[in-house]
A and B are shown apart, each in its own frame.
Chain A
Amino acid sequence: QKEVEQDPGPLSVPEGAIVSLNCTYSNSAFQYFMWYRQYSRKGPELLMYTYSSGNKEDGRFTAQVDKSSKYISLFIRDSQPSDSATYLCATPFSGGYNKLIFGAGTRLAVHP
């Protein structure tokens, strides 16, 4: 079993739709979770991070963690074509916040 599981998609939605991206993880010791966005042939860029359970909102993006079910989500409201990218969830290995375990990444396409 992979430590972080993520459906690779692809996911195709119309502009303006609400997008839900999800990951599950296996290690209950994980507490810090990130969402990265990666455009084609580029390095990932950090979108949001959350610590422990709960929600965090930043503009059109909301990150949610449910530790009881080991489930993390990223919601995108009013999706735009510019949101088309691969979204990766990640969590740190033990011993450092910057050494990351990534999910497979979900490819999202938002069409006009």
Chain B
Amino acid sequence: GAVVSQHPSWVICKSGTSVKIECRSLDFQATTMFWYRQFPKQSLMLMATSNEGSKATYEQGVEKDKFLINHASLTLSTLTVTSAHPEDSSFYICSASKVPGGTEAFFGQGTRLTVV
């Protein structure tokens, strides 16, 4: 199979602090990973494309300085929410595929971020 693991599963942080979320492909290499955000009772919205060894590509309306993405290896991408505020509270999910352009994206279990 293809397993994508996120850590942590949930996190509570104080307003103004930064939070790092990890996304790992456990049994395959992924040159590209994707980060999505899902607000309660809403769909997943693509935030950015994480490319191994290069800068991430952000979707329109997503602040790149607030959501820092690093894809330092073929099995790990990290999303750092900087200076988090309550409106950043959401469910963050990553996905990865075994090969570029492959026909299936495997999703992590998600990270629930609550900013208080």
Interface residues on A, range: 20 to 34
Of chain A, the residue at the smallest CB distance from B105 is A98
Contact A102–B101 (Cβ < 8 Å): no
A36-75, CB < 8 A from B: 36, 41-46, 49
A100 close to chain B: CB less than 8 A: yes
**Contacting residues, chain A, for B95 (C-beta < 8 A):** 43, 98, 100
**Contacting residues, chain A, for B90 (C-beta < 8 A):** none
The contact string, 1 if C-beta is below 8 Å from chain A, for chain B 91-111, is 101011100111111111110
**Contacting residues, chain B, for A97 (C-beta < 8 A):** 97, 101-105
**Contacting residues, chain A, for B54 (C-beta < 8 A):** none
Interface centre among A45, A49, A102, A104 (most CB of B within 10 A): A102
Contact (A42, B102) CB under 8 Å given A8-B41, A104-B42, A105-B43: no
The contact string, 1 if C-beta is below 8 Å from chain A, for chain B 32-68, is 1010000001111110010000000000000000000
A73 to chain B, nearest CB (A): 18
**Contacting residues, chain A, for B45 (C-beta < 8 A):** 102
**Contacting residues, chain B, for A96 (C-beta < 8 A):** 32, 100-101
- Show 13 residue pairs from A and B whose CB-CB distance is below 8 angstroms, ordered by the A residue: A6-B43, A43-B6, A43-B93, A43-B107, A46-B104, A46-B105, A46-B106, A49-B104, A96-B32, A97-B101, A98-B32, A104-B42, A104-B43
